[in-house]
Amino acid sequence: MLAALTGIALFSLMDATMKAASLVAGAYSALLFRALIGTALLLPIWRLGGGRWPRAAVLRIHATRALVVSLMALLFFLALVRLPLAEAIAVSFIAPLFALYLAAVILGERIAVRAVLGSLLGLCGVAVISAGNLFARGLGGDGQAMGIAMMVGSALLYGWNLILQRQQALLADPREIAFFQNLLVGVLFLLAAPWCAGWPRPAAMALIAAAAVLAAVSLMLFSWAYARAEAQVLLPFEYTAFVWAALFGWCFFAEQVSAATLAGAGLIVAGCLVAVRGAGATHTEQTLL
């Protein structure tokens, strides 16, 4: 639990660092160079730790998660340059609700009443955040509506990522997971680099390098934690990210947390807790993971 909490704090600091880099260099370039720097940092750590090329079944999971993470991260940081940090993180909290619905899609299980009620609370939370902040800053101003839509899409992918994270943790050690995620994400982003990438300025590159270190450490902490505790134990700690997001948003970007964001975050968290509690919902999540 301590490893998961530390990982969330470091990942939230990475989000703030990447937001600053994305505002200067663009989200695509920031993600590309973060993956490349992370690969270079983790290669010797993986090799010196006795790393070997994974078997085909494990490599497929690495590749699947890399694809999901690439799309998820791109949507997330495109949204982050349009939204305050705390607001973006609050909207992303609907991810555990999506994870429950994936159980119905993948396993054909019946969705429990608690999951439906939790989803309605979560959607109400997103609506409160969206309506309150859009009206406060002007309808559609500075791409706010587009940012929220991107964050919802990212949260959907993050729900799948939570499942893959648990599967990976049971098949590979943290160094392998961190290395192959950076390597494969970097390869995917390189495919469009000739058209989409630009060389960041030194200040932006320093931020990206710091984000790469923070991402690598937090990813290994998450992998270590998820290999030693059930997802149902660790998932509630995801909500501490809101506290860190509010703190870092205020410290680095002078962002204020609005009453609408607080109210919406409360509804989303309540919805997630309602959805995952109870024997039926717990069984669904455990079976899926």
Cα atoms in the Cβ-side hemisphere of radius 13 Å centred on 101: 16
pLDDT of residue 26: 92
For residue 280, how many other CB atoms are within 10 A of its CB? 15
Weakest-pLDDT range from 21-25, 45-49, 86-90, 100-104: 100-104
pLDDT of residue 256: 83
* DSSP three-state, residue 199: coil
Q: How far is CA 202 from the centre of its chain?
A: 26
Residue-number span of the structural domain to which 13 is assigned? 2-288
pLDDT of residue 131: 76
Which residues, other chains included, contact 252 with Cβ-Cβ below 8 Å and sequence gap of 6+? 16, 20
Measured CA to CA, the distance from residue 276 to residue 171 in angstroms comes to: 25
pLDDT of residue 123: 75
| Residues 15, 17, 19: CA angle, nearest 5 degrees | 65
Confidence label for 276 from pLDDT (cuts 50, 70 and 90): low
Percent of the chain's residues with pLDDT above 90: 37
Q: Considering the chain, what is the average pLDDT of its residues?
A: 82
Q: Please write the tens of the pLDDT for every residue from 109-145.
A: 566 677 677 777 877 887 787 777 666 665 555 677 7
Measured CA to CA, the distance from residue 244 to residue 84 in angstroms comes to: 13
The total number of structural domains that make up the chain: 1
Cα atoms in the Cβ-side hemisphere of radius 13 Å centred on 276: 24
Residue 70 reports pLDDT greater than 90: yes
Residue 280 reports pLDDT greater than 50: no
Query: Which range scores top for mean pLDDT: 68-77, 106-115, 165-174?
Result: 68-77
pLDDT of residue 222: 84
Q: Please write the tens of the pLDDT for every residue from 33-54.
A: 999 999 999 999 999 888 889 9
User: Using an 8 Å Cβ cutoff, are 255 and 249 in contact?
Assistant: yes
Check residues 91 and 77 and name the one with the higher pLDDT: 77
CA-CA distances (angstroms) from residue 101 to 160, 230, 280?
10, 19, 13
Weakest-pLDDT range from 72-81, 112-121, 149-158, 262-271: 112-121
Query: 198 phi and psi, to 5 degrees?
Result: -135, 155
Q: Please write the tens of the pLDDT for every residue from 219-274.
A: 889 888 878 876 666 766 777 788 888 889 889 998 888 888 888 888 877 877 77
pLDDT of residue 84: 85
Summarize the confidence of residues 166-186 as an average pLDDT. Answer: 89
Confidence label for 285 from pLDDT (cuts 50, 70 and 90): very low
pLDDT of residue 283: 41
pLDDT of residue 204: 93
